[in-house]
Structures are given as structure tokens and as C-alpha cells.
Amino acid sequence: MPSEHERSTEVPKRRGGISLKDIYYAEKQILKALPKMAKAATAPELKQAFEKHRDQTEIHVERLADVFEIIGKAPRGKTCDAILGIIDEGKSIIEEFEGSPALDAGLLAAAQAVEHYEISRYGTLKAWAQQLGMANAAKLLDQTLTDEMKTDQTLSQLGESKINKQALAKAA
Ligand SMILES: [Fe+2]
Ligand SMILES: [Fe+2]
């Protein structure tokens, strides 16, 4: 059985598709997708939420560059199939529901899938950074994690208060 220390240093080697490079790539893809989602959204509150999160996402990319600097690496992305799949789903929703009252509800669902992906990745990367004793990197990752969680909450509230009800009412 490996010791505590061996286990903690082993973790990053087993990371598979979870790494700084993956999330760096993902954030850049999200940065490109959010303006399209804002443009497609019909409810002003949803548009605004997407625009606000686009600006935050720009900061997320910068924060990741800072984390790369802490570990002494140049910021570089690596194609992340998970985020491409989630963003692709969002594109299909826009095409499929254009002009329909269900569009905003679909966009909301797609956006929450993106946030849940990010929450999961940042949660893992933050935990690894903590285990490796990299407090500064963990703090930066935690700041972005908080942004993603708040965005997810805002989207949930929009869904509960307005977007989903509108879609269901108009569809009825
Ligand atoms: Fe982000
Ligand atoms: Fe996000």
C-alpha cells in the first residue's frame, strides 16, 4: 500500500484528461461560445448573464496563465473532447430551437452543463494543488471555482423564476 506522500504525488500522473492544459483549452472555447449564446438568447436577463460571464471567463483564462507561471510552465492548451461535446450540444440547441419559445430554456440547460463541467474540473485541480502544497495556485483555482458556482446559481434562479416557465407556458 502506498504511503500518504506517495499517494499524493501519484495523483497528477493518473489525471487522464484532467489537467491545466485541458481547462485552459476549455476556457478559451467557452470564451468563443458565450457571445454566440448571448446573441441567440431572447430574454434580456439571460443575454446579460451570458455577457457578464464572458467577461469573467476572460479573467479565468488570465488566472490560469498565472497558475501556469506558478508551476513554471508556459500557458498552453490541449484539445479537450469533453468541452467540445458540451459546446457542440449548445450549438445544436441554437439551430434546433431557433425561433421557438424553448430556445432560452435550451440555452440555459446548455450553459449549466458548461458550468457543471468547469465546477468539476476546478474542484479537482484545486484539491490536487492543495495536496501538493501549492497554496497560491489553489487560491487562484478557488477564485474561479467560486465564479463558476455563482454563475450556475444565477442560471438556476433564472430558470426557476422565468425562463423555463415561459418556455413551458408558450409550449402549452
Ligand atoms: Fe470559467
Ligand atoms: Fe463558467
**2 in any annotated domain:** no
Name residues with Cβ closer than 5 Å to ligand 1, which is an ion: 57, 60, 118
**98 in any annotated domain:** yes
Output the CA–CA distances (angstroms, integers) from residue 113 to 67, 83, 119, 132, 139, in the order listed: 24, 9, 10, 29, 24
pLDDT tens-place string over residues 96-130: 999 888 999 999 999 999 999 999 999 999 999 99
**90 in any annotated domain:** yes
Single pTM value for the model: 0.86
DSSP three-state, residue 16 = coil
**9 in any annotated domain:** no
**4 in any annotated domain:** no
Q: Is the pLDDT of residue 164 over 90?
A: no
Residue 15 cell numbers, joined: 489525471
Compute, in angstroms, the gap from residue 3 CA to the centroid of ligand 2. Answer: 36
**8 in any annotated domain:** no
Q: What average pLDDT does the segment 27-55 reach?
A: 97
Residues shown for the chain: 172
Look over the chain and give the mean of its residue pLDDT values, rounded to a whole number.
Answer: 89
Compute, in angstroms, the gap from residue 60 CA to the centroid of ligand 1. Answer: 5
Which residues touch 49 (CB under 8 Å, ≥6 apart)?
Answer: 111, 151, 154, 155, 158
Give the residue numbers spanning the domain of 111.
15-171
Q: Is the pLDDT of residue 15 over 90?
A: no
The CATH number given to whatever domain includes residue 125 is: 1.20.1260.10
**7 in any annotated domain:** no
Structural domain count, the chain: 1
**10 in any annotated domain:** no
Which residues touch 34 (CB under 8 Å, ≥6 apart)?
Answer: 50, 51, 53, 54, 57
